[in-house]
Chains A and B, each alone.
Chain A
Amino acid sequence: MTLTGALLSHYRRHPLQLAALALMILLATMLWSGVHQLTGQARDSLARAEQSLSGGREAVRSDGQPVTVDDFVRLRRAGVCVMPWLEVPDPDGPGRLVGIDPLAGQCLVSDSHSGRAPALDGDPFVDIHRAATVSAATPVDSPLHLIVGESPGPLPPGYESAPFQRGPDTGELGRSFLLNLDALGALVLMITALLLRAVYRLGQAQRETSFVLLARYGVPDRVIRRRLVLEILLLSALCIGPGVWAGSALARLLGNGFGASLEGLFDLPLYAGGTDWLTPALVMTAVVVLACVSDLLVPARCRAWLDRGGRSLWPGVILAAVGGAAVLVVSGLAATFAAVAVVFAGVGLLVPTVLSHLADRLAARGVDELRRWRWRELGVMARRLALPVVALQFTLALVLAVQALVASFEQTFEGWLDQRLAADWYLDVPAGADAGPAADWLAGQLAGVDGAAWHRIRRGSATVASIGADDGTRASHRLDLLAVAPIGPLLTRWHLLASADRPWDALARGDGVMINEQAARRFGWVIGDRLRLGEAAPGAATDGLPVLGVYADYGRPEGEVLVAGSRWPAGQTPSFEGFAIEPGTADIDRLIDGVTRRWGGEAPEVQENRAIRASANAVFQRTFVLTRAMTLLTLVLAGTALLVMGLVFITSRAWYFRLLRAWGLSGREVFSQLLRLCLGLTLGVALLALPLGIWLTWVLVGRINPEAFGWSLPMAVYPGFWLELLVLSALIGLGIAGLMRRSLAREATS
């Protein structure tokens, strides 16, 4: 038999161990490369669009209506250099395609100050004819944009130019969101690396005798090391390829939800892109080599020092304290993530030692010798299973934190929807209909009706500029505009994040505006700042209107300004107009009939509160689909790894359970000891994961979320979910004990 054959004989004897290693490499690659592909695709396509159109502007209609093909024709006939831009869903995968007319776009090159041609070939750009065909076959509306270059000159009456922005206008929020996901991916990678290392080291411990034997036969140590490194590289090469393919499939599976999240949260389009094989292959190979054979590359003296450090509490305490303090003081997402990583490293060092010290201390206090033995065994388990124990703890903490974040968001979102959807019925004004007479009729019908309330809603956009202390106009921004009249109980129950004195009264008088949290955070506007609604509000006071309040506005990226109906810019056609009606004791059917008659029999679209709420909840669920999928898969991976490792460990201690039988414990009593031991370990890990999970929740909610999403959330804890995690940990413990019982039963022939 050759040396390689002798080394590999271990895996012939333990094929499941090899299968577990291979499966873990494959799953880790799948998870990380899947996320990497999605975030990379988002970044690449954004960069592509930005590079193509940096500084570009688009033609918009002055009346706020969306542009159409007719507008394109009209502008072309007026001699304006304009190129159509139609975004449609990619029918072959996640992301979107951009339909353009390259011929029409030629003039943009000569107009460009930079003189460089926009890079409009290849993914995600296609000919506009194909995009139009896809658009016709898709039930979703595909908005058309008309690109007019960097300095389009005067446009025909009825049109104006606005910055063409596909995403970056939401500040760095979109990028932060992607960084957030990357950090989650890195944490998952770290956890899987720990698990991989645990399984690999288990095998190495079993092979140690063979290595000593080979050394006695005269095989140099360095030759054995080289073969081991080669062995793991070969295994990586065999598993990483399928892993990247599986990651690509995962990305395709989650891509639509992810794209919808980006679109809904940040207005970032996810463009179609190819699979990057090289980066995941290189990163995963490095991770596998580091996790498995890094010990072979570290000098023996350093290994001994690290081992000594691993048994002491202090390195873990110091790292956790330094990381925790850094989280409090650093700013920026990357620095916060780095500080969190330091805390995790400290806790990772600390937990097995704390568990084992705790068990030893409890053993010292015991008077029952069997209980003392159990505590001592638990201490040994905590030390021997340190890596999978830490991995499970990290995963449980991550799951707990993500769940708390999502649940907090869900709860806050529910409360917010209750405020926003205060009315039972919503009527959309038909296109071309005049809402004025209907508003007057409704006011007359609902005056004095018990429990009745209503208001008229107009939506559009406006250029908003802040006025400095020197009365000079600061940078202007194109924001959504919302006008409501009358300002009644359907509106005044909105929870304001910040407000001036009696803000609703001032708003109703037209003495100020309110802004959403996104606008406040992005432009740094605070209560009392004065805003001017650009040329869209010619009647407004030249010194602007003060900000009266800041309201929460979840699930959308755009900044928005809320004004009283009287402040709606004269002559501007709303892009949307409708009524919110709480009929009270009045008959809603009669009211709908009434407004329909005012519009010459053209029936409005009527939406019930419940339907709108369901649609909003669907958007919410889609937002966290990727995060939830990742944490769930990681939990499954960590749980399975602890199950396997626990089983292997308990098998190595099987003799001592046999000893208990020889000492007269019945099968049931031996199983009871086994069960308590396994439950003690997994529940202990879960209990230690709780404080870490709560702390991570605070970091996510208090530090990371405002930077990544653009809005803040209240911190909430969910003890019910803690209980679920404890039950899950107990199930893992039961699984180990159950499998071991079978193994012991097979051994004891009866």
Chain B
Amino acid sequence: MTERAPVLAAQGLTRAFASGHQTVSVLERLDLSLAAGQSLALIGRSGSGKSTLLNLLCGMDSADAGTITVLGERFEAGDGEPAHVRHRRWAALRRQRIGVVFQDANLMPALTLLQNVRLRAQLAGQPLAPCRDWLERLGLAAEADRYPDQVSGGQRQRAALAMSFAMTPALILADEPTGSLDRHTADEVATLLFDTLARSPAGARGTTGAALILATHDPELAARCDRIMDLGHRASAGRASTDTSS
């Protein structure tokens, strides 16, 4: 594998949640690194911390300890940086550089598919003209003017991918993007995701393509990624994670 500049690096990430009178540790001293154009699958049983890790990596949640460096911006837990300044830096990254895809409900229900894609592109400061093209490339030309509740679950997920690509991200974080789809549709969406990723214009931002981290229970989807990190094994085995290249 060619050595490329890291898009994302995390060291010693720790996160615990209060549950009643107890504190449940979800992530402990996790290290992670991802280069531009690379993909990483997070696998593990439910509750193993996949979604928590994704939330930490896009700044929707804050780590109790550890450091995250993403696209040149460094965030260190407990470094005394005012919360509002840290939130603002994360918000700027999410707005322009990080695409986030959830298992479902990625679209505003009151807007059509096209309007959703345009909204995401506009927020990222990208031109609006290619938005319809993105929908066409993902096979949604006929559905562009329909509302989310008028299309199928697979079409909604494809629209969510179109939204992420329309903002030309450097990093895409996807939380079980095919989790709510049937096998056939899941394969279709996954193929579109990896094909489009390979042709993504993120290189225009000075990298060789968008990096992808996805959380999934689907071994076939995970197998399409460059690397797999098994958080469940990590948790049951103690501190070590299994990070394999596929």
| Distance between Cα atoms of A369 and B91 in the complex (Å) | 18
Instruction: Report the nearest A residue to B128, measured CB to CB.
Output: A369
Q: How far is the CB of B214 from the nearest CB of chain A, in Å?
A: 15
B105: chain A residues at CB < 8 Å are 655, 659
The 8 A CB mask of B123-148 against A (1 = contact, 0 = none) is: 11000000000000000000000000
With an 8 A cutoff between CB atoms, is B24 at the interface? Answer: no
- Identify the closest chain B residue to A667 (Cβ): B87
Give the chain A neighbours of B106 by CB distance below 8 A: 659
- Given A369-B118, A370-B119, A659-B105, the answer on whether A665 and B110 have CB atoms closer than 8 Å is no
Judge if A379 is at the interface, Cβ distance under 8 Å: yes
**CB nearest neighbor in A for B84:** A667
A665 nearest in chain B by CB position: B91
Query: Which residues of chain A from 648 to 696 have a CB within 8 Å of any chain B CB?
Result: 655-656, 658-659, 661-667, 669
Give which listed residue, B83, B94, B108, contacts A373 with CB less than 8 A: B108
Do B87 and A665 have beta carbons less than 8 Å apart?
Answer: no
A420 close to B (CB within 8 Å): no
B70 to A: closest C-beta gap in Å: 13
Q: Is the pair A377, B95 in contact by a Cβ cutoff of 8 Å?
A: no
A666 adjacent to B91 (CB under 8 Å): yes
> Chain B 55-80 against A: per-residue CB contact (8 Å), 1 yes, 0 no?
00010111000000000000000000
Contact B62 A750 (CB under 8 A): yes
Interface membership of chain B positions 92-126, coded 1 if the CB is closer than 8 angstroms to chain A and 0 otherwise: 11111010101001101111000100111011100
On whether the beta carbons of A662 and B118 are closer than 8 Å, the reply is: no
Contact A666 to B87, CB < 8 A, known contacts A372-B111, A750-B62: yes
**A707-750 interface (Cβ within 8 A of B):** 748-750
Is the C-beta of B88 less than 8 angstroms from some C-beta in chain A? yes
Residue among B87, B108, B109 having the largest count of chain A Cβ atoms under 10 Å: B108
Summarize A's interface: helix, strand, loop or mixed: helix
Q: How many residues of B contact A (CB 8 A)?
A: 30
8 Å CB contact of A656 from B84, B108, B115, B123 = B108
Given contacts A368-B122, A750-B62, contact A662 B110 (CB under 8 A): no
Contacts of A368 in B (CB 8 A): 122
A interface size (C-beta, 8 A): 25
Q: Given the complex of chains A and B, what is the CA–CA distance between A658 and B95 in angstroms?
A: 13
Cα A370 to Cα B96 with chains together (Å): 16
Smallest beta-carbon distance B150→chain A, Å? 14
Tell me if A376 and B60 are in contact (CB < 8 A).
Answer: no
B123:A664 contact, CB within 8 angstroms: yes
**Chain B contacts of A379 at CB under 8 A?**
110
CA distance A655 to B148 in the complex (A): 15
Question: Is A380 close to B, CB under 8 A?
Answer: yes
CB distance from A641 to the nearest CB of B (A): 24
Cross-interface CB contact of A663 among B83, B100, B110, cutoff 8 Å: B100
Pairwise interchain contact A662-B100, C-beta atoms closer than 8 A: yes
Chain A residues within 8 Å of B108, by CB: 373, 376-377, 656, 659
B96 proximity list for chain A (CB < 8 A): 664
Which A residues are in CB contact (< 8 Å) with B115? 369, 372-373
Tell me, in angstroms, the Cα distance from A206 to B146 when the chains sit together.
Answer: 27
CB-CB nearest in chain A for B118: A369
Which residue from chain A places its CB closest to the CB of B91 in the assembled complex? A666
Do the beta carbons of A373 and B111 come within 8 Å of each other? yes
How far, in angstroms, from A514 to B92 measured CA to CA in the complex?
Answer: 81
Known: A370-B119, A370-B122, A659-B105. A380 touches B60 (CB 8 A): no
- Cβ 8 A contact of B88, one of A661, A666, A749: A666
Cβ contact within 8 Å between B111 and A664: no
What distance in Å separates the Cβ of A224 from its nearest Cβ neighbour in chain B?
27
Return A368 CB to nearest CB of chain B, in Å.
7
Chain A residues positioned under 8 Å from B102 (CB to CB): 662
Give the 3 A-B residue pairs with the shortest CB-CB distance, closest first: A664-B95, A376-B110, A369-B119
Given contacts A373-B110, A377-B108, 16 further A-B contacts (CB under 8 A): A369-B115, A369-B122, A372-B119, A376-B110, A380-B109, A656-B108, A658-B60, A659-B106, A661-B91, A662-B60, A663-B120, A664-B93, A664-B98, A665-B91, A666-B87, A748-B60
Enumerate 22 A-B pairs (CB-CB under 8 Å) in ascending A order: A369-B118, A369-B119, A369-B122, A369-B123, A372-B119, A655-B105, A656-B109, A659-B105, A662-B58, A662-B102, A663-B95, A663-B119, A663-B123, A664-B91, A664-B96, A664-B98, A664-B124, A665-B91, A666-B88, A667-B91, A750-B62, A750-B87
* Residues of chain B having any CB pair with chain A under 8 Å: 58, 60-62, 83-84, 87-88, 91-96, 98, 100, 102, 105-106, 108-111, 115, 118-120, 122-124
